[in-house]
């Protein structure tokens, strides 16, 4: 059974997409079969993989419509037409069209469970599924949280980011109570960290105090190569495998394998 991880934060620019792509590649390099679903209409995960959304005709938008229509065509036979990219992991891309989906499926039965239905259709194909969610708490985000086993919350070490973290924890508790009691926090992932500063250390201390040291994943240090890699359509492991960013995401990957019950 695939382990499904959503990467989410209410705050934009939190390292959500960078973390999704690099964790996926890290898992794939550990021999895991990995699928990334870009469920954000900004399509940044798609673009980060070197794919131009406006050139695509089959994205998560069309796939979600198939699920909403309860099309009887086997999704396993169709899935290869949706998969894009040349990475060690598979990608279901996104496009700006996805922004209209919430209105279009508003009357669909079980509209909160469309992504969950999709994952059931492809059960047994992957070891891990990672879903990059939009920052807004809408129907697409709810779909991801309903479908997932685990939640990763990336956060910059600033006190303003703590509010976004508190909001995400509140959302987790609501989803647990109302829609998915099995969703668990895999970890809070500090990104863009300068551990030499008092601010970063203070924020990490505050997170550990409020949520427990065990909820902190290894921090991702500041590294310009993490910002450069997407412009070349590459993950950090492809672009600069010996840099700090690659070392840090390798440590995060090991932590995720251990915490999700896999061997590192």
Give residue-wise pLDDT tens across range 71-106: 656 666 667 777 877 899 999 999 999 999 989 888
Q: What pLDDT band is residue 67 in, cutting at 50, 70 and 90? A: confident
CB neighbours of residue 2 within 10 Å: 18
DSSP 43: -
Tokens of 214: 């065990």
- Based on C-alpha coordinates, what's the Rg of the chain? 17
- Determine the pLDDT at residue 77: 65
As a whole number, mean pLDDT of residues 137-143 equals 93
Provide the pairing of β-strand 150-155 with 128-132: unpaired
Going along the chain from its start, the domains and CATH numbers come out as 3-259 (3.40.50.300)
Q: What pLDDT band is residue 227 in, cutting at 50, 70 and 90? A: very high
Q: Where are the alpha helices (DSSP H) in the chain?
A: 16-28, 44-48, 60-68, 75-82, 101-104, 114-121, 139-147, 159-178, 198-211, 224-228, 236-239, 244-259
Q: What pLDDT band is residue 264 in, cutting at 50, 70 and 90? A: very low
- CA–CA separation, 105 and 65 (whole Å): 8
pLDDT above 70 (res 164): yes
CB neighbours of residue 132 within 10 Å: 28
Phi, psi angles (nearest 5°) of residue 29 = -75, -10
CB neighbours of residue 207 within 10 Å: 21
Give yes or no for a contact between 186 and 20, defined as CB atoms under 8 angstroms apart.
no
As a whole number, mean pLDDT of residues 143-170 equals 93
- Determine the pLDDT at residue 74: 61
- Determine the pLDDT at residue 35: 96
Q: What pLDDT band is residue 147 in, cutting at 50, 70 and 90? A: very high
- Determine the pLDDT at residue 205: 93
As a whole number, mean pLDDT of residues 138-160 equals 94
pLDDT digits (tens, 9 = 90+) for 120-138: 888 899 999 999 999 888 9
- CA–CA separation, 49 and 235 (whole Å): 7
pLDDT digits (tens, 9 = 90+) for 45-66: 999 999 999 988 889 998 888 8
- Determine the pLDDT at residue 142: 95
Average pLDDT score, the chain: 91
């Amino acid at each position: 059974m695939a382990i499904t991880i959503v990467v989410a934060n209410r705050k934009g620019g939190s390292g959500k997409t960078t973390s999704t792509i690099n964790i996926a590649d890290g898992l794939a390099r550990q021999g895991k079969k990995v699928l990334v679903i870009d469920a954000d209409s900004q399509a940044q995960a798609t673009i980060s993989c070197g794919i131009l959304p406006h050139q695509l005709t089959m994205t998560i938008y069309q796939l979600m419509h198939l699920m909403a229509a309860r099309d009887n065509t086997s999704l396993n036979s169709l899935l290869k037409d949706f998969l894009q990219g040349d990475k060690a992991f598979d990608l279901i891309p996104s496009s700006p069209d996805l922004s209209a989906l919430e209105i279009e499926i508003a009357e669909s039965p079980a509209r909160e469970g469309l992504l969950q239905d999709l994952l059931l259709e492809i059960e047994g194909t992957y070891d891990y599924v990672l879903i990059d969610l939009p920052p807004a708490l809408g129907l697409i985000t709810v779909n991801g949280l309903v479908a997932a086993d685990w939640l990763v919350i990336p956060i910059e070490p600033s006190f303003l980011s703590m509010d976004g973290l508190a909001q995400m924890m509140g959302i987790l508790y609501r989803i647990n109570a109302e829609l998915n009691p099995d969703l668990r926090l895999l970890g809070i992932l500090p990104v863009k960290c300068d551990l030499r500063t008092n601010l970063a250390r203070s924020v990490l201390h505050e997170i550990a105090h409020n949520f427990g040291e065990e909820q902190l994943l290894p921090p991702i240090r500041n590294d310009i190569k993490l910002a450069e890699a997407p412009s070349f359509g590459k993950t950090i492991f492809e672009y600069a495998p010996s840099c700090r960013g690659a070392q840090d995401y390798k440590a995060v990957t090991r932590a995720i394998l251990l915490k999700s019950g896999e061997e590192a």
